[in-house]
Chains A and B, each alone.
Chain A
């Protein structure tokens, strides 16, 4: 009998499963899965919503109002600059595309001969016990890279501050990964460190985020971080 995984049963209990009918039928005949499903349901009941205190609107408004400056609409003075930059941008994008194609061909060839766990994601990157804080660090990295990949214009101050703080933490995790011989994890985190260093040191310009995406392949790095995150979860699950 094929059993359903814990993840399938969590999705079922949260009504996120695309296979509810067959899971429901299976639970009627399999006591093992039914017990697991009931334990998930019990967990969800224990963590059900508690009442939330109501904020004092007037007090909050008075506090907020004192910090509000008088705004003016954003000036749109870039029309002339936009046309002036069209050809250099097209030229740069073409060059970057060619470079990306060359790199992707090289990576494809390398992956045929040398197995890279970080990129291919086959199995856990490590069998050693994990520092629980790395999960948090990888979550923060994923959010930051997603922001970089989706932002138009320069990043705001809060995101840049976050990059600065992540940079300090990242150096520690790179060193830990190297010390424990986890070279794939170290390589991915080192690449992330380069992105953070650039964000931390380069002055924000309207094109800085866009250039960072092209030059450092932040989309590819985001994928590597996600794979690392999944492998990290997998190895923690094995450890438990």
Chain B
């Protein structure tokens, strides 16, 4: 997400779409789909939901393109739509208890829709430690609200400036900052039982 102005190719692509050429949208998708999916993955925590959120975001952006005022770049705009879409998806998933997207787990299970990432190099001890670490991280992240998770992952993992996170989440910079601080505080407390010395 950058504040640079849109280049000629993107401006032309938007004009093309507005003139009725839907294939012109491919230019925008090629440029931004990966970064949008990446951010959606940070928010949703799994690949299937990340792609669904990115698809939905690109579709919403396409339908809103006639009203896109171009006072921000397309990348900032699509990222903002994607974050909101991903947050809404997480909230929908939380409400719909019957839904289980494929998630990383200790053991793969068809009934639970879980998969395991193979690591052929690891020894038994590191496998055990990795499993425990993944479970603990997943459980701790699940305790965060979607907004806290989004603000934290974007700030800490994607290194997005606080002002851009605030703008994308449609909240004030201070609210975004507080959401990150709350997230770190909650995550630290979640680790306390295993870390021993952490207070």
Q: List chain A positions with a Cβ less than 8 A from chain B.
A: 6-7, 10-11, 13-14, 16, 35-36, 39-40, 42-44, 46-50, 52-55, 57, 60-61, 63-65, 67-74, 132, 135-136, 139-140, 142-143, 146-147, 150, 153, 156, 158, 162, 165, 226, 230, 233, 237, 240
Give the residue of A64, A135, A140 whose beta carbon is less than 8 angstroms from that of B55: A64
Nearest 6 interchain pairs by C-beta: A74-B66, A49-B157, A139-B147, A39-B198, A43-B188, A136-B145
Closest A residue to B134 by beta carbon equals A50
Question: Within 8 Å of chain A (Cβ to Cβ): is B199?
Answer: yes
Most chain B C-beta atoms within 10 Å of own C-beta, residue among A11, A53, A230, A237: A53
Closest B residue to A75 by beta carbon equals B66
The smallest beta-carbon distance between A135 and chain B, in angstroms, is 5
Give the residue of A39, A61, A74, A233 whose beta carbon is less than 8 angstroms from that of B188: A39
A55/B59 contact (C-beta < 8 A), A35-B199, A40-B188, A71-B18 known: no
Q: Are B37 and A55 in contact (CB under 8 A)?
A: yes
State the CA gap A72–B18 with chains docked (Å): 5
Residues of A within 8 A of B84 (CB): 143, 158
Q: Are A6 and B18 in contact (CB under 8 A)?
A: no
State the CA gap A155–B8 with chains docked (Å): 31
A60/B33 contact (C-beta < 8 A), A139-B148, A240-B189 known: yes
Q: Are B55 and A57 in contact (CB under 8 A)?
A: no
The smallest beta-carbon distance between B5 and chain A, in angstroms, is 21
Q: Are B181 and A10 in contact (CB under 8 A)?
A: yes
A16/B162 contact (C-beta < 8 A), A44-B184, A139-B146 known: yes
Contact with A along B119-160 (1 / 0, CB 8 A): 000000000000001000100110101111000100111100
Task: Determine the interface band of chain B, counting residues with CB < 8 A from chain A.
Answer: 35 or more
Closest B residue to A148 by beta carbon equals B170
Q: List chain B positions with a Cβ less than 8 A from chain A.
A: 17-20, 22-23, 25-26, 29-30, 33-34, 37-38, 41-42, 47, 50-51, 54-55, 58-60, 62-67, 84-85, 87-88, 91, 94-95, 133, 137, 140-141, 143, 145-148, 152, 155-158, 162, 169-171, 175, 177-182, 184-185, 187-189, 191, 195, 197-199
Residues of B within 8 A of A72 (CB): 18, 20, 66
Show 8 A/B contacts (Cβ-Cβ < 8 Å), sorted by A. A14-B180, A35-B199, A39-B195, A49-B156, A50-B157, A60-B51, A64-B55, A68-B25
State the CA gap A81–B185 with chains docked (Å): 52
Give the residue of B18, B29, B62, B145 whose beta carbon is less than 8 angstroms from that of A73: B18
Q: Are A43 and B197 in contact (CB under 8 A)?
A: no
